[in-house]
Every structure is written in structure tokens, then in C-alpha cells.
Amino acid sequence: MSSAVNKTIDAHSVVQAASHMSLEQAILQRRSVRGYLPDLVPEAVLQNIFELAQLAPSNCNVQPWKVYVASGALRDELSKEMQRRIRDGVTPNPDYEYRGDFVGEYRTRQVECAVALYNEMGIERNDKPGRQHAIMRNFEFFDAPYMAFLGMDKAFGTTVAIDVGMYAQNLMLLLVAHGLHSCPMGTMRNYPDLVREAFGLGEDNRILFGLAFGYEDTSVPANKTRTTRDPVSASVMFKS
């Protein structure tokens, strides 16, 4: 990426270059894609996407998100080392503890999602090699030519992490609007030291999650996976 992302962004000029896809269409088409073509994205398209994503809201406009995008040789080196660590059983050392103990309705949705994905991939419940392969696909970055690592300064806590999440939503929808897809990945928080070393970062730079992105490979079975959403009444209460 060029240094242009560091300048003050003129929202009006950036919007002029945006895709004509509506916000509603982008939301409807966004999904987690787990298989990509090797094709690179034109620099001008990447620039436009990331400039628009920068317009995300944040507390007091502090714009806390830090994004590190690996491609080419660096992307390949990171993937190779992460795969090695997984195979060798290296214990993850994430900057932030992951709460994965979902129960009740949350556990139900988690299981439904996994079943839908594994069914498309042809992986049975007792297929341990198949499940291990599915796990390793994360660290192969699903063949995506780009892996973005999103984080923030270690001084920030949960409240500011929400701002990073809003930035990520901007980014994911913009990728769809420009004919691309992505997959947000919690597994990319496993080895933050590796990311810091790769990008020459200090200890103050903390990693929250990753985002694989690129052009979808529609021939990948996992990309046929579709999940459902509960009705609005399950999450939203209107009262007057």
C-alpha cells in the first residue's frame, strides 16, 4: 500500500470512486469465503477499498485500528511458519484471551455452522484426518493472496476493540462491493509474535484477528456453505 492511506482523506472524493453496488446488496452477498484464486487485486482498487474503510466510526475519532497486510513472499512465509507451529504443537500465545465456551443458543448456532461447513467439505464427524485438514486450511490462509492482521495499541481495551470491529465491517463490505470476498479469522491471533516480527512491530502492537481476502474460487466446496440468521425478535427489543 502506498503512503496515501496516511494522509487526511477527503470523503467526497473517495466516494466518487466507489462501486455502484448498494449497501444492502453488499450485506446480502457478504459471507465467509474459504477458498481463493491466486489473482492479485489492482493497486488502485486496494487503495480505494482501504481509503473508504478508514471512514469507519470510532470513539472520539481516535481511529485505533492498525492493519498489516501480507502478500507475496511474506504471506507465504507467514503461512508456512504458522503451519509448522500447528504441526509441531506449539502452544498459541494470543495477545487477548479467546472466550470460546459458547453455551445454550450460542452453542447451538456454533454447531449448526460447523455442520453446514463440514457437510459441504464432505467431512464426517469421526473423520479426524479430515477435520485436521480443515483446521490446517486456516493456516494456509485458504489460498487467499492477501492476509490482513487487525489490531490496536496495547493501551486500549474492549471498548476500543469495538471500533476495530466496525472498521472490519466496513472493510468486508467494501471488498464485496469491489467483487472480492473475505474471511475473518480468529485463528490469526494465535501467534502475534510472528506477525510483529514479520512487520517489524514493537510490543505495543497487539493483534486481535485476521482477515483473508481476494477473489473467490467458486470451485472450492467450502464456499457453498450457507448459514442462517435468527429473526430480528431473537436479538432486538423495540419498546415505547
Give the three cell numbers for residue 131.
477435520
CA dist., res. 228 & res. 125, Å (int): 21
Asked if residue 123 belongs to a domain, the reply is: no
Asked if residue 38 belongs to a domain, the reply is: yes
Give the pLDDT score at 6: 44
Give the three cell numbers for residue 36.
481463493
CA dist., res. 129 & res. 107, Å (int): 24
In DSSP terms, 185 is beta-bridged to 210
Domain limits for position 22? 3-97+139-227
Give the pLDDT score at 63: 98
116 Cβ contact partners less than 8 Å away, ≥ 6 residues apart: 225, 226, 227
Asked if residue 34 belongs to a domain, the reply is: yes
Let me know: does 217 contact 36? Beta carbons within 8 Å. yes
DSSP result, 107-145: HHHHHHHHHHHHHHHT--TT-HHHHHHHHHHHHTGGG-S
Give the pLDDT score at 18: 55
Asked if residue 70 belongs to a domain, the reply is: yes
pTM of the model: 0.91
Asked if residue 239 belongs to a domain, the reply is: no
Asked if residue 199 belongs to a domain, the reply is: yes
Q: How many domains does the chain have?
A: 1
Give the pLDDT score at 5: 43
Asked if residue 82 belongs to a domain, the reply is: yes
Asked if residue 168 belongs to a domain, the reply is: yes
Q: Residue ranges of the chain with pLDDT lower than 70?
A: 1-19
Main-chain dihedrals φ then ψ at residue 103, nearest 5 degrees = -135, 165
CATH code (residue 11):
3.40.109.10
Give the three cell numbers for residue 209.
484477528
